[in-house]
Amino acid sequence: MRSICILGSTGSIGENTLDVVARHPDLYRVCALTANTQIEKLAKQCFKFHPDIAVVKDAELAKQLKNLLGDLKTEVLYGSSGLIAAVMHESVNTVMAAIVGAAGLLPTLQAAKAGKRILLANKEALVMAGPIFMDAVEKSGAELLPIDSEHNAIYQCLPQSQSSNKLNYPAYGVEELLLTASGGPFLRRAIETLDSVTPDEACAHPNWLMGRKISVDSATMMNKGLELIEAMWLFRVPENKIQIVIHPQSVIHSLVRYIDGSLLAQLGEPDMRTPIAYGLGWPHRIDSGVKKLDMMTLKDLNFMAADVNRYPAILLAREAARLKGTSPAILNAANEVALEYFLQKSIKYTQIIQVVDQVLQTVASQTATSLESILDADQLARTKAVNILQGLRS
Ligand code: NAD
Ligand code: MG
């Protein structure tokens, strides 16, 4: 029996995880659920899954959640200590890391240190703290399974003979990784008109239904940039061995090229329940509820290079990936702050990446030897981004 903690259970990945879990009551038990502020949704999940622990943002929300739960025997905790307690609960052996952004780093890292099975959706945690995170995984013997659809696809296309946390692919004849990207909602929109797109337009992803942050990241393709850095750490390949390919249909979720001329791909419906079920069931396969991909209905599968004039975020992410150290954390922090300003309609869409660029060029990269150095860089980049953004607003 796998006993699960879902960090970010009220989000898109969180809800999809509960959907898969509910199909297998004999295999999984929900031990802890965490949310930020959506307490009504969290309360409904608690009534359905009876977790031991539920975590919310602060004491006031915890009080409100307790009232909603009435007699239910779920302990309500809050804040970062609550998230850590949820991960560390003695019966939890599997942690779905599905908090969005840097907020997920500490509890996810804690799960790595504690040697749990980690289903990693929260790519920002790995982008920020790649070497420290992977080091923790190696030392504790934690199982790290990628949930991001591209990384999950690559994982499935790599040799399965190794344990999940000892990835040494050059030895297996891997030449390069190919990350596919849909191109988002603005793939064909005239570049000169991108200045005027609204948050709702940017969040209207053609193929995937996701949270607002990752949806905007998919439009700018910063998502693919973050995924490139995520793949570097997960699979221990250098930046120049990862290609980004636009594939608007989102049927092929990513590929691995081998030195013998083979190109292995994973295909499926664009539904996150497939990678989630893979992570939950590994090394076995379980039913995910995802409808079968009907090859007969596939008309065209198209592929093209990403135009960096349309998607300058890719250049910035590659730069941060090459610089390593605290650069990926700086890139990520600046992006989170600028994207939030865009969602609040305080800046234009095109200014998101301009701000990230300015922050990356002005906040010096340091060697990332400790978690503190990463958190310092994150804070510095946020402060710098806010300064620039305030200037743009006035
Ligand atoms: P979402 O916005 O739908 O959900 C985010 C969850 O995190 C919610 O439960 C929210 O309560 C919680 N949360 C937000 N801020 C928090 C904070 N400060 N402290 C504690 N909890 C907080 O996001 P999502 O689309 O589910 O994405 C979650 C993660 O998974 C992201 O890192 C994203 O990049 C990754 N991911 C998502 C998808 C997808 O299809 N949605 C695909 C691949 C990867
Ligand atoms: Mg992805």
**With a 6 A CB cut-off, is 12 part of the ligand 1 pocket?**
yes
- Alpha-carbon span 175 to 321, nearest angstrom: 19
pLDDT at position 292 is 96
The two tokens of residue 298 are 């596939």
- Alpha-carbon span 29 to 5, nearest angstrom: 9
pLDDT at position 165 is 55
Please compute the mean of the pLDDT values over residues 144-165 and round it to a whole number: 85
**With a 6 A CB cut-off, is 388 part of the ligand 1 pocket?**
no
Ligand number with the minimum distance to the CA of 210: 1
pLDDT at position 207 is 87
DSSP per position, 284-342:
S-----PPPP-GGG------EEPPTTT-THHHHHHHHHHH-TTHHHHHHHHHHHHHHHH
Residue 242: pLDDT above 60?
yes
**With a 6 A CB cut-off, is 223 part of the ligand 1 pocket?**
no
| pLDDT tens for each residue of 193-219 | 999 999 999 999 888 889 999 999 999
**Shortest-distance Cα residue to atom 23 of ligand 1:** 211
pLDDT at position 171 is 73
pLDDT at position 205 is 85
Residue 163: pLDDT above 60?
no
pLDDT at position 209 is 83
Please compute the mean of the pLDDT values over residues 28-48 and round it to a whole number: 98
Q: Locate the domains of the chain by residue range.
A: 2-146, 147-272+279-319, 325-394
Please compute the mean of the pLDDT values over residues 82-93 and round it to a whole number: 98
pLDDT at position 105 is 98
| pLDDT tens for each residue of 244-273 | 999 999 999 999 999 999 999 999 999 999
Q: Which atom of ligand 1 is nearest to the CA of 10?
A: 9
Q: Is 3.40.50.720 the CATH classification of the domain at 2-146?
A: yes
Q: Which of 6, 9, 10, 12 to mutate to test the pocket of ligand 1 (most atoms within 8 A of CB)?
A: 12
Q: Which of 120, 127, 210 to mutate to test the pocket of ligand 1 (most atoms within 8 A of CB)?
A: 210
Q: Whole-structure pTM over 0.95, yes or no?
A: yes
**With a 6 A CB cut-off, is 207 part of the ligand 1 pocket?**
no
What's the chain's average pLDDT? 95
Please compute the mean of the pLDDT values over residues 84-91 and round it to a whole number: 97
296 Cα to the center of ligand 1, angstroms: 34
DSSP per position, 54-91:
EEESSHHHHHHHHHHHTT---EEEEHHHHHHHHHH-TT
Q: Which atom of ligand 1 is nearest to the CA of 35?
A: 11
Architecture of domain 325-394: Orthogonal Bundle (1.10)
Please compute the mean of the pLDDT values over residues 2-26 and round it to a whole number: 98
**Shortest-distance Cα residue to atom 2 of ligand 1:** 211
| pLDDT tens for each residue of 296-348 | 999 899 999 999 999 999 999 999 999 999 999 999 999 999 999 999 999 99
Q: Which atom of ligand 1 is nearest to the CA of 226?
A: 34
Those residues whose beta carbon sits under 5 angstroms from the ion ligand 2 are 148-150
pLDDT at position 394 is 61
pLDDT at position 164 is 53
Please compute the mean of the pLDDT values over residues 9-28 and round it to a whole number: 98
Largest CA-CA distance found in the chain, in angstroms, rounded: 62
- Alpha-carbon span 82 to 104, nearest angstrom: 13
- Alpha-carbon span 345 to 176, nearest angstrom: 39
Residue 166: pLDDT above 80?
no
pLDDT at position 147 is 98
- Alpha-carbon span 308 to 312, nearest angstrom: 5
148 Cα to the center of ligand 2, angstroms: 5
**With a 6 A CB cut-off, is 103 part of the ligand 1 pocket?**
yes
Percentage of residues of the chain with pLDDT beyond 90:
93
- Alpha-carbon span 257 to 264, nearest angstrom: 6
Please compute the mean of the pLDDT values over residues 279-291 and round it to a whole number: 97
- Alpha-carbon span 320 to 305, nearest angstrom: 20
Q: How many residues does the chain have?
A: 394
